[in-house]
Amino acid sequence: MKLLLGMPSPRNIERIKASWDKIEEDYIIVKHFKEWTAYQKIRNYFLENKEYTHLAICPDDLLITQKDINILKKDIYIYNFPVICGICNVEPEDEYLAICESMPIIGEHKFNFMKRKDIRDVIFRVDHAGFPLQIIRRDIVEKFDFDSESSIIGSDPDAIGNLDLMFSHKCKENNIPIMIDSRADMLHLRRSGTPIFDDPTVRYIEYKRGDLHNFLSGPNGDQKTC
């Protein structure tokens, strides 16, 4: 197994940056692009680099550790889950988790989030997860694009996001289980940082690949700066 972490990141949150400096895995961080565009760049990079067997999607306000990653990697080694993730709070100090046992309806923006006290098992299946360190096997990434809610109605794909919900619906429609390991319990720093989408001069893509650490800057993230 070889894992690539992917972070679509419109914000600059110091606690997140400090935590990623300690991560052992390869990663790609796409900074200050609109959401759908950032996901396409992450997916394309993963697909182009065939050595990676799994892609982990990490929001840029989710505080992850190598321990969380290792818990999920062990599950994959044992069970070969096509999709698995951890848990995190929805709001700071919230009893609700960013997972749903029943599928939210596209367009309604109503989520029946699971409460922490209702967790009954260490590993269990849900209909929807909001990408809390969501690790996706290569064959699933190849099969499913990351669609946004607006892209399916033919409008600007960056207009309305909800890419996590769109992905969950594809999994449900194709009978692909989304598994949760509640031992990978992470802190969601929601409402931290200010998103910057509309200034192309601050956009860049950061790669860590083994001992290599590169940055690409510019409006499309294609100008090498170091």
Domains of the chain in start order, with CATH, are: 3-224 (3.90.550.40)
DSSP H helices in the chain: 14-20, 35-48, 66-79, 138-143, 163-173
Report pTM. 0.93
CA distance 73 to 66: 10
- Sheet (strand 113-115) strand order: 113-115, 96-100, 128-129
Question: What is the rounded end-to-end Cα distance, in angstroms, of the chain?
Answer: 29
* Distance from chain centroid for Cα 172: 18
Tokens at residue 63, please?
């505080």
Nearest alpha-carbon partner for 35 in 166, 168, 162: 162
Q: From first to last of the 226 residues of the chain, give the pLDDT tens digit.
A: 999 999 999 999 999 999 999 999 999 999 999 999 999 999 999 999 999 999 999 999 999 999 999 999 999 999 999 999 999 999 988 899 999 999 998 888 789 999 999 999 999 999 999 999 999 999 999 999 998 877 666 666 666 678 999 999 999 999 999 999 999 999 999 989 999 988 889 999 999 998 888 888 877 777 654 3
